[in-house]
Structure 1
């Protein structure tokens, strides 16, 4: 089966079962359809991947790199088309979608460059006439399960290191936003990716879950999504010789100290909280502020929220689009209502916007909640929407303790003009990414990415660290003098 496993026409008249993809800016609008595969069709993807893995492993790394570089160029050449589909199925703004296409291409280019890097080493051997080396080899067939919030970037983040290492891939994108995964597959197919090396699986989880996750040919699974599903996946794969990587939830905090540049803090936090409607794993959802500057900081965040322009992601002037679905909008609004019920104060936003333009869309107003402390669920639970929970503290030590007051440990930031405090903050917070006078989000492709605690597993993504997950180590000793 050729790369049709990744590129089956989504509107094929021969296919009866399909999944409709709707526009979160107007849920009445169907923007595409993808195949609802059967379990047997998923198994066929693994049949193809098993053969593809053998062929791809035997392909010279420099040839792999050429294919990936051509695919990156194709993504960039089709950026407008792909970004348009991304806006239509996910709801982010056109500017955000365009950046995502660029970043996805960057992942392919970056990992293509690894073809010219060493992939082994010589080590000393005390035996006479013996030379020993260590080499890195592909795992075989890997399964990638990706989320709806960054439906092009996250597959590229996982796919690129898997491919340059020599693995075949079965990719399962989220059902809410599957269209751009086909764009990624198309670019790789156009670039010359061999048959069977990539298969895209779309379908209803209840019908294909066993075929997707229980196939004995799976060597590794990389998952990005909620902590609850990530934990279920870890349990399901436990006891099997399957490597597991999970990038899960986050409740990222930014601390604003008494000496902070408040104007910079406000603009940065607002962008990190309301960008992509708060639907980033690295979005700032908690703000810890010293009591001496709490009032002006909160006033600034309220003003920033009021300046956000809601609307369809492709409309001129829109600075924040809808959340991904009506179901997710309900979940975000439930978090806000619960905060009200627990005594927190919603200072701005807190609901769905009024007006005919928003009637059929999945919109949530940018929201700032104050009067929050450790007892409130809005402080602890991942909302994944445009909601900031503000907690007032006294002094540096309380700020650090408040940042660490979470089961999650993905990202944190601090705003301060004191270099000693900046480094002490970085030493003491228990997160995978620390920023000083920068947003919690916004990491480049060559920088290791991943969290601690309930935010992830020991395997990091991005940079050289990602290649550790997608390769295995073999030690070879050769006695050349008998």
Structure 2
């Protein structure tokens, strides 16, 4: 039996269902730790009914009132941070520090967009016609469907909902089946902060049963999705014929370049943080490291020492650095990627397997892994592993390194470590990525920083900051002739 049952939010009410979906703790998957409603297709349609009705109210609600709701919600997230972080860690496996940081960042999003909601929503523009005053203004677009992943189960819903709701839209949120509790905590904070009924509705359940009701409702104006390329491309094609906006934040195969003049100790520390934070389960994680040949042995040793020192275990243990992967299936997929890389000629430098020992026996653990001798022909060079696995490859010149960074279908994030300002600027201009870092990690952007990648890493619409509002608004131009 599940230890905790959590109702979901629909039409301003907390509702259950005739059946429930179990939620598991990836540190021990023998018994479920919670259950959430497995909604029916009819319940999904009812959520859209509520969102449609609420849109007429919310779009006319003063932005100052929206800001007050957001400010109260942010305060509640901070007040409940310990409880919420516990839920994040329990269902996802993150360390306590990572889960607490995610909770604080979710509050940041609503505080930031509370301020943005007060900003201007249009501007005057010149008109060639005498006696005419012309302007343009932005408007909300309607009912938005947000489909969010399991790797950032609280932060990603906040990243999407805050700008969507600040602009005056209403939303249907479909959290990942593996990690629904975090999203329900977010919904609870918004509900308790005074968000009107129907502005946010959370759909939990079995995707195969409710996907048609979720995706084919004619009232959807936009879908924002974070997840795999396979699902993202399916959604893009499915929605295109209906002229529904699509925003995709998809995969990455992010590279860090270490030049011979870099501070090797600092670079190794940054690469370990970027590669193994959240057990490598983040789209911006560094998974390819390119090291200039004359320093490859020294850097590999610095990396080896740091990775070997990482403590693997339950995220709820204070001294643990790397938690489990989210599920048995995902763990097995990562281990299969490692085995395939070895079969293709890669060498295991550190890790490379599931850890042994009683404390790991019932969890979804993979030891932090470094693979050396990797070539561009290997699958592990090109395919997103999405786990605690990093590969090393040597290069001779910066041009060669840039070519290797761009040797990917993805274009999310890249980093370079160097003391040469000219080399840094050449790298920034040449790499085909949406985010570039110099002498720091490839993740951890603030809420006001535009976020998103190029090519197969996502759509043209950025998330975060003022750029996020482009996806959630439309522009209306107005000309008024007053004579003269």
Same fold (TM over 0.5): yes
The 3-state SS of whatever aligns with 1:116 is coil
The 3-state SS of whatever aligns with 1:220 is strand
1:146-193 Cα shifts (integer Å, max 9, x gaps): 000000000000000001100000000000000010111000001100
Q: Does 1:357 align with 2:362?
A: no
1:51 to 15, 39, 53: 53
2:10 to 5, 24, 28: 5
CA RMSD of aligned residues (A): 1.3
Residue 256 of structure 1: aligned partner:
258
Q: How much does 1:115 deviate?
A: 2.2
2:153 to 147, 151, 158: 151
The 3-state SS of whatever aligns with 1:294 is helix
1:376-422 Cα shifts (integer Å, max 9, x gaps): 11100000000011111111111111111100000000000000000
Q: Does 1:214 align with 2:233?
A: no
- Distance across 2 between alignment mates of 1:278 and 1:53: 38
Matches within 5 A, 1:51-200: 51-200=53-202
376-385 vs 27-36, which moves further: 27-36
1:291 to 279, 290, 293: 293
Q: How much does 1:304 deviate?
A: 1.3
Q: How much does 1:3 deviate?
A: 8.5
- Say if 1:3 and 1:189, in contact at 8 Å, map to a contact too: no
- Distance across 2 between alignment mates of 1:372 and 1:311: 28
Distance 1:4 1:441, change over 3 A: closer
Structure 1 runs of 4+ aligned residues shifted over 3 Å read: 6-10
What is the number of equivalent residue pairs in this alignment?
Answer: 478
The 3-state SS of whatever aligns with 1:444 is coil
- Distance across 2 between alignment mates of 1:29 and 1:98: 25
Distance 1:6 1:96, change over 3 A: farther
- Distance across 1 between alignment mates of 2:290 and 2:56: 52
- Say if 2:144 and 2:221, in contact at 8 Å, map to a contact too: yes
1:321 to 323, 330, 334: 323
- Say if 1:7 and 1:200, in contact at 8 Å, map to a contact too: no
Residue 3 of structure 2: aligned partner:
none
1:209-260 Cα shifts (integer Å, max 9, x gaps): 1110111100000000011111111011112121110000000000001111
The 3-state SS of whatever aligns with 1:137 is strand
Residue 475 of structure 1: aligned partner:
477
User: Gaps (5+ residues) in structure 2?
Assistant: 1-6
115-124 vs 411-420, which moves further: 115-124
- Distance across 2 between alignment mates of 1:309 and 1:140: 47
Distance 1:327 1:3, change over 3 A: closer
The 3-state SS of whatever aligns with 1:133 is strand
Residue 408 of structure 2: aligned partner:
406
- Distance across 2 between alignment mates of 1:52 and 1:160: 16
- Distance across 2 between alignment mates of 1:301 and 1:393: 17
Q: How much does 1:276 deviate?
A: 0.5
User: Gaps (5+ residues) in structure 1?
Assistant: none
Q: How much does 1:7 deviate?
A: 7.3
Distance 1:132 1:307, change over 3 A: same
Q: How much does 1:8 deviate?
A: 6.1
Q: How much does 1:128 deviate?
A: 2.4
Q: How much does 1:340 deviate?
A: 0.5
- Distance across 1 between alignment mates of 2:136 and 2:99: 41
